[in-house]
């Protein structure tokens, strides 16, 4: 049925709550790492739907899984279980430290489950006093009120009335600041094994191992928020695998569904047992459509060759960005790991990341920012080398347009 009104950017302002400010471009279809808008203009996608589209757009394995499941069963609720959820859970357990899985629909919901579980565990094993959650400044854990309060940016959590209590924030990559806060009253320390939204900040080896040790010394659980780093993004199935540190609880979402909403919390049997029957739940969590697509995405990404490819593609990005920088002197640093890359703007371009994003869009390239002064790249893990080259060429045009203006 053709709409009797035009579906354009103006309609957004008319009918949508104004919490976002989307681009004027409205993409209507995608294939691999290319996307086309309403005017059939083509873009190369270095954004990946914010580290979600790990296999690009409309990957055949995901399309097939969705189509096949869509003709079987769509939804049951957790009054009954379903085959796709159990298959996916089994694969998550077989391929990680975890022994138990809880399914949710997003990163925030997965973290919400993790934090509630940590509090339950502490209450039942150690008593009422042990309820402190320590997270890190600039960290991001989602937008529910609990998760946004655990997150390290008060600008996101202020203005909504009284916050959930007993949450403290230490400095990332600063063990002394964690030492100053942690005690036997701490029930969990929550960290991203590479801060994404906070500016593409990798933990030092000393820091991440030190956090694990402080958790052990204080009987606190270590929660890794792998919502952005998980499912191959950093060149390992999960980032913890490359850090030589195992968390007690791990959350995963974003790339888990390759574009279909799903999240999961993974943990051990010993900890999981504290979420007893009735203590937590979700109507859609473990939905068969979501789990069928996620299973196909997981099977595709959990492959040595694909993961090795992530590191090769990352090198192509870093070399290309360094070459652009040699010509135009706009970055102070190219950082990150695998295909989560940050190009940090130097002093001359502070606060201008959004301008680079807009200039890239004009050249037919989608990129992301991480804060006001970092351009972030989170492309498909299977982006073809030619698309990287072509996208970097477009990015160079965008950089030139800003430098020469």
Ligand X SMILES: *Cc1c(COP(=O)(O)O)cnc(C)c1O
- Given the rule CB under 6 A, which residues bind ligand X? 106-108, 111, 140-142, 192, 196-197, 225, 227-228, 253-254
Distance in Å, CB of 239 to ligand X, minimum: 11
Distance in Å, CB of 228 to ligand X, minimum: 3
- Nearer to ligand X by C-beta: 227 or 369? 227
- Give me the sign of the Cα torsion angle 52, 55, 56, 59: negative
- Nearer to ligand X by C-beta: 227 or 375? 227
**Do 181 and 189 contact (CB within 8 A), yes or no?**
no
- Nearer to ligand X by C-beta: 254 or 337? 254
- Distance in angstroms between the alpha carbons of the first and the last residue of the chain: 45
Q: What does the angle CA 256 – CA 291 – CA 299 come to, to the nearest 5 degrees?
A: 60
Nearest to 366 by CA among 92, 43, 12: 43
Distance in Å, CB of 291 to ligand X, minimum: 16
Distance in Å, CB of 197 to ligand X, minimum: 6
**10 Å Cβ neighbour count for 206?**
10
**10 Å Cβ neighbour count for 80?**
7
Distance in Å, CB of 4 to ligand X, minimum: 33
- Nearer to ligand X by C-beta: 263 or 364? 263
3-state secondary structure (DSSP) of residue 314: helix
Burial of 394 (0-12, 13-18, 19+ CB in 10 A): buried
- Nearer to ligand X by C-beta: 155 or 305? 155
- Nearer to ligand X by C-beta: 140 or 356? 140
Distance in Å, CB of 71 to ligand X, minimum: 28
Distance in Å, CB of 147 to ligand X, minimum: 7
DSSP 247: -
3-state secondary structure (DSSP) of residue 38: coil
Distance in Å, CB of 370 to ligand X, minimum: 10
Q: What does the angle CA 109 – CA 160 – CA 266 come to, to the nearest 5 degrees?
A: 15
Nearest residue to ligand X, scored by beta-carbon proximity: 107
Measuring CA to CA, how many Å separate 110 from each of 93, 291, 313? 16, 15, 29
Compute the distance between CA of residue 279 and CA of residue 272 in angstroms, rounded to an integer. 11
Give the residues across from 266 on adjacent strands.
101, 250
Distance in Å, CB of 44 to ligand X, minimum: 22
- Nearer to ligand X by C-beta: 66 or 108? 108
Compute the distance between CA of residue 111 and CA of residue 71 in angstroms, rounded to an integer. 32
Nearest to 334 by CA among 351, 352, 347, 346: 346
- Nearer to ligand X by C-beta: 227 or 231? 227
Give the residues across from 222 on adjacent strands.
189
- Nearer to ligand X by C-beta: 111 or 138? 111
**Do 190 and 149 contact (CB within 8 A), yes or no?**
no
- Nearer to ligand X by C-beta: 119 or 233? 233
Distance in Å, CB of 217 to ligand X, minimum: 26
The DSSP annotation for 98-120 comes to -SEEEEESSHHHHHHHHHHHHHH
Q: What does the angle CA 42 – CA 43 – CA 47 come to, to the nearest 5 degrees?
A: 155
Number of H helices, E strands in the chain: 14, 15
């Amino acid at each position: 049925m053709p709409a009797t009104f035009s579906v354009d950017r103006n309609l957004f302002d008319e009918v949508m709550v104004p919490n976002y400010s989307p681009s004027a471009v409205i993409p209507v279809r995608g294939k691999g790492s290319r996307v086309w808008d309403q005017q059939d203009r083509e873009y190369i996608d270095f954004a990946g739907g914010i580290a979600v589209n790990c296999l690009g757009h409309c990957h055949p394995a995901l399309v097939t899984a969705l189509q096949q499941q869509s003709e079987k069963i769509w939804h049951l609720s957790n009054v009954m279980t379903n085959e796709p959820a159990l298959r996916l859970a089994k694969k998550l357990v077989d391929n990680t430290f975890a022994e138990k899985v809880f399914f949710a629909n997003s990163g925030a919901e997965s973290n919400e489950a993790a934090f509630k579980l940590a509090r339950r565990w502490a209450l039942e094993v150690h008593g009422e006093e042990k309820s402190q959650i320590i997270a890190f400044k600039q960290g991001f854990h989602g937008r529910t009120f609990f998760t946004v309060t655990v997150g390290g940016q008060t600008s996101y959590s202020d203005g909504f009335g009284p916050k959930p209590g007993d949450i403290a924030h230490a400095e990332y990559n600063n063990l002394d600041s964690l030492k100053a806060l942690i005690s036997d009253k701490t029930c969990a320390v929550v960290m991203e094994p590479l801060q994404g939204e906070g500016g593409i900040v990798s933990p030092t080896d000393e820091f991440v191992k030190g956090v694990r040790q402080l958790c052990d010394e204080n009987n606190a659980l270590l929660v890794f928020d792998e919502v952005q780093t998980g499912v191959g993004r950093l060149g390992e199935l999960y980032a913890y695998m490359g850090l030589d540190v195992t968390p007690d609880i791990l959350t995963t979402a974003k790339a888990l569904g390759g574009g279909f909403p799903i999240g999961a919390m993974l943990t051990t049997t010993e900890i999981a047992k504290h979420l007893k029957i009735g203590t937590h739940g979700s109507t859609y969590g473990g939905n068969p459509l979501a789990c069928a697509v996620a299973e196909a995405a997981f099977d595709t990404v959990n492959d040595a060759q694909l993961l090795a490819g992530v590191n090769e593609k990352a090198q192509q990005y870093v070399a290309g960005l360094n070459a652009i920088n040699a010509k135009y002197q706009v970055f102070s640093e190219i950082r990150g790991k695998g295909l989560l890359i940050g190009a940090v703007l130097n002093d001359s371009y502070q606060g201008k990341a959004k301008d680079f994003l807009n200039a890239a869009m004009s050249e037919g390239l989608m990129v992301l920012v991480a804060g006001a002064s970092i351009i972030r790249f989170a492309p498909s893990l299977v982006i073809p080398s030619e698309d990287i080259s072509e996208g970097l060429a477009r990015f160079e045009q965008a950089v030139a347009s800003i430098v020469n203006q």
